[in-house]
């Protein structure tokens, strides 16, 4: 493997780790709200969160480019604040990945929170635990399998994305050139040997992740 | 305790205004779907009745007229659900400590005594999922009480247990009843549990409180027997008076005595017994040529139609200012004996259930 391939691997790991952490931070309140709300907005919000599941990544990437680009409202707002615009930067990749992988984190968390039900939280309240206290001392530990699934899916899905990162990040080695884009690069240049190394590595990685996910789920290893 | 809750759900309205004793066990009794659990949830602050008012022993927890509503976690109460809602990720000990710590009882005052009372000393290091249903409920009760609540709320704590487990846990509840000096609201649809545990009873039906009063008097009311149907009957408090040589124990009370199979309780012990209306028959004279041991002189107070077709319920006052008794007899016998209020009769008690 040459150094640019290693750089792509490193960039991918860095991106996926950062995105997973941020997704757990962003996704937890969203899924908690979705699991507990009786609001009429539950349906629409759930649908918006799930959109990346069904939309072609290029559509997502296109709109992200539009919104964050020089004529987009967020792009212009960032210009006004003297911030660097996001397209074709690492930060842009992070934002795009968060949007793209959000449903993979929100849905397992929402399922886990819904499976807990109201009862343990009511019991916690009757034992003088404030809502925040009950959330961290009861809901989070009980939803642990959901958190593990969400983190694994969020990480793996971010590693595996292609269309969105290509549209939003482009193909700048060491900056926005992630693994999947690098493979595309190799194939386009006819370098099948290098492509094999990376592609085969991805197959192994994804297999191990899914093995962990399904094997762990079966044994109930994460239930505590 | 004052509780005023009015809640509208689609197809169901809860509307109760209760004044309850600040001591002893108050049973909220009624069929499922009657709203008794909703009353409990309102008292716990898990439901918020608009315009509601709730006060326990002088502490107001909800007074919407003043905009006051304490959320559940700020109310000094203990709550026991139908299924023990122990936290599965914590050991029994950690479960017990969960509420203790948060209620400012980190030092664990009363911990050992409570463990002893509920018989859970051997379970402390176990995981909740490795406990039997009865053990889980005992831990849940101990967990609630270790927060030193000022009100204990129990929502059908025995309903999820089979008959054997129920028998295993009832003595603990009775011990509790004797020890506790806080009011208990106990939701149940089991006449048996109510007869054993309650001091006061509120009948709830269709979201309304149809009666509220001391258990002994309320159970003897003729106008409420429809609620208990086949289980209509009274509860008596008696004292163990003598253990007789032929293997019977004498229970004393005004209007008594009653003889029952030998009991292990010492002389002077207080016992509660239940006499079902269907186990009482009437005679105009005190027959001695019968195998029935318990024949008590009484006066007919009132007569009403029973739930069972072809039967009548007779309310009796035992002589010597004794308690009320209910007898269920056939319409045919009522006519044959011409049972009318004011008449003196002999109540033949075929069975006494000791509780």
Here the ipTM equals 0.85
Q: Is pLDDT above 90 for B45?
A: yes
Q: Is pLDDT above 80 for B7?
A: yes
- A62-87: pLDDT as tens digits: 999 999 988 888 989 998 888 888 88
- B57-85: pLDDT as tens digits: 999 999 999 999 999 999 999 999 988 78
What was the pLDDT predicted at B221? 85
Mean pLDDT calculated for residue range B283-300: 85
Mean pLDDT calculated for residue range B287-316: 86
Give CA–CA dist A83/A85, Å, rounded: 6
> Contact, A130 vs B101, CB < 8 A?
no
Residues of A in contact with B81 (CB under 8 A): 119, 122-123
Closest Cα in chain A, distance from residue B328 (Å): 43
The partner residue sitting opposite A125, judged by closest CB among B73, B81, B83, is B73
Rounded percentage of chain A residues whose pLDDT exceeds 70: 96
Confidence of residue A218 (pLDDT cuts 50, 70, 90): low
Residues 240-279 of B with CB under 8 A from A: none
Give CA–CA dist B315/B204, Å, rounded: 23
What was the pLDDT predicted at B224? 77
What was the pLDDT predicted at B308? 80
Closest Cα in chain B, distance from residue A30 (Å): 23
What was the pLDDT predicted at A56? 92
Residue pointed to by tokens 């842009």? A92
Who wins on pLDDT, A115 or B233?
A115
Identify the structural domains of chain B with CATH numbers, from first to last: 2-227 (3.40.50.300), 233-238+269-354 (2.40.50.100)
Contact assignment for B73 to A129 by CB distance below 8 Å = yes
In eight-state DSSP terms, residue A84 is P
Q: Is pLDDT above 60 for A219?
A: no
What was the pLDDT predicted at A214? 80
Contact assignment for A125 to B144 by CB distance below 8 Å = no
What was the pLDDT predicted at A217? 63
Contact assignment for A127 to B72 by CB distance below 8 Å = no
Rounded percentage of chain B residues whose pLDDT exceeds 70: 99
Mean pLDDT calculated for residue range A127-133: 95
Closest Cα in chain B, distance from residue A22 (Å): 26
Give CA–CA dist B115/B101, Å, rounded: 16
Judged by a CB distance cut-off of 8 A, whether residue B87 touches chain A is yes
> Contact, B219 vs B235, CB < 8 A?
yes
CATH architecture of A3-56+93-219: Orthogonal Bundle (1.10)
Mean pLDDT calculated for residue range B220-241: 81
Judged by a CB distance cut-off of 8 A, whether residue A141 touches chain B is yes
Residues of B in contact with A123 (CB under 8 A): 79, 81, 85-87
Confidence of residue B109 (pLDDT cuts 50, 70, 90): confident
The partner residue sitting opposite B79, judged by closest CB among A126, A138, A142, is A126
Contact assignment for A138 to B77 by CB distance below 8 Å = no
What was the pLDDT predicted at B320? 83
The partner residue sitting opposite B102, judged by closest CB among A123, A127, A144, is A127
Mean pLDDT calculated for residue range A88-109: 94
Considering only CA atoms, which of B146, B101, B92 is closest in space to residue B124? B92
What was the pLDDT predicted at B256? 76
Report the mean per-residue pLDDT for chain A: 90
Q: Is pLDDT above 80 for A202?
A: yes
Give CA–CA dist B191/B203, Å, rounded: 11
Mean pLDDT calculated for residue range B233-249: 88
Mean pLDDT calculated for residue range B291-320: 87
Candidates A126, A141, A143, A148: best to mutate against B (most CBs of B within 10 A) is A126
Judged by a CB distance cut-off of 8 A, whether residue B71 touches chain A is yes
Report the mean per-residue pLDDT for chain B: 89
Give CA–CA dist A158/A101, Å, rounded: 6
What was the pLDDT predicted at A1? 66
**Smallest CA–CA distance from A223 into chain B, residue:** B89
- A157-199: pLDDT as tens digits: 999 899 999 999 888 888 899 999 999 999 999 999 999 999 9
Q: Is pLDDT above 50 for A224?
A: no
3-state secondary structure B280-331: EEEECCCCCCCCCCEEEEEEEEEEEECCCCCEEEEEEEECCCCCEEEEEEEH
Give CA–CA dist A140/B257, Å, rounded: 60
Mean pLDDT calculated for residue range B226-240: 82
Q: Is pLDDT above 80 for A221?
A: no
């Amino acid at each position: 493997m040459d150094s640019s391939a290693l750089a792509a691997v490193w960039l991918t790991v860095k991106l996926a780790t950062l995105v997973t952490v941020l997704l757990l931070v962003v996704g937890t309140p969203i899924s908690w709200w979705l699991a507990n709300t009786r609001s009429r907005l539950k349906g629409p919000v759930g649908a918006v969160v799930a959109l990346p599941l069904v939309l072609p990544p290029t559509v997502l990437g296109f709109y992200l480019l539009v919104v964050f680009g020089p004529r987009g409202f967020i792009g212009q707002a960032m210009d006004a604040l003297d911030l660097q615009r996001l397209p074709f930067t690492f930060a842009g990749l992070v934002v795009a990945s968060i949007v793209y992988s959000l449903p993979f984190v929100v849905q397992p968390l929402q399922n886990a929170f819904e499976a807990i039900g109201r009862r343990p939280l009511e019991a916690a309240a009757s034992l003088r635990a404030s809502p925040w206290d009950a959330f961290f001392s009861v809901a989070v530990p009980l939803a642990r399998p959901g958190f593990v699934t969400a983190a694994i899916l969020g990480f793996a899905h971010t590693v595996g994305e292609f269309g969105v990162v290509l549209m939003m990040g482009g193909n700048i080695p060491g900056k926005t050139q992630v693994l999947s884009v690098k493979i595309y690069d190799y194939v386009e240049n006819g370098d099948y040997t290098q492509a094999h190394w990376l592609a085969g590595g991805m197959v192994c990685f994804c297999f191990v992740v899914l093995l962990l996910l399904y094997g762990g789920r079966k044994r109930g290893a994460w239930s505590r | 305790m004052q509780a005023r809750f009015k809640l509208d759900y689609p197809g169901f309205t809860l509307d109760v205004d209760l004044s309850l004793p600040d001591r002893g066990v108050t049973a909220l009794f009624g069929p499922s779907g009657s709203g008794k659990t909703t009353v409990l949830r309102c008292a716990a602050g898990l439901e918020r009745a608009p315009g509601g008012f709730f006060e326990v022993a002088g502490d107001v927890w909800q007074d919407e007229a003043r905009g006051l509503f304490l959320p559940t976690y700020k109310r000094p109460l203990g709550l026991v659900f139908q299924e023990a809602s122990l936290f599965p990720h914590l050991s029994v000990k950690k479960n017990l400590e969960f509420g203790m710590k948060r209620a400012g009882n980190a030092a664990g005052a009363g911990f050992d005594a409570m463990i002893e009372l509920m018989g859970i000393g051997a379970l402390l290091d176990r995981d909740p999922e490795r406990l039997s249903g009865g053990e889980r409920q005992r831990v849940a009760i101990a967990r609630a009480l270790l927060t030193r609540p000022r009100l204990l709320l129990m929502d059908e704590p025995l309903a999820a247990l089979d008959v054997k487990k129920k028998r295993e846990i009832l003595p603990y509840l009775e011990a509790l009843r004797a020890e506790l000096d806080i009011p208990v609201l106990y939701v149940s649809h089991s006449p048996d549990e109510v007869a054993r545990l309650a001091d006061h009873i509120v009948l709830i039906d269709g979201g309304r409180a149809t009666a509220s009063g001391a258990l002994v008097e309320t159970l003897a009311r003729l106008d409420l027997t429809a609620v208990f149907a086949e289980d209509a009957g009274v509860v008596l408090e008696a004292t163990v008076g003598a253990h007789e040589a032929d293997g019977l124990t004498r229970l004393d009370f005004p209007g008594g005595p009653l003889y029952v199979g030998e009991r292990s309780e010492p002389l002077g012990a207080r016992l509660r017994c239940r006499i079902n209306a269907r186990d009482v028959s009437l005679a105009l004279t005190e027959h001695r040529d019968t195998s029935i041991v318990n024949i008590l002189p009484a006066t007919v107070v009132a007569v009403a139609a029973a739930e069972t077709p072809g039967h009548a319920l007779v309310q009796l006052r035992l002589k010597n200012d004794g308690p009320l008794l209910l007898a269920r007899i056939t319409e045919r016998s009522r006519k044959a004996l011409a049972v009318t209020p004011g008449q003196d009769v002999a109540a033949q008690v075929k069975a006494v259930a000791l509780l």
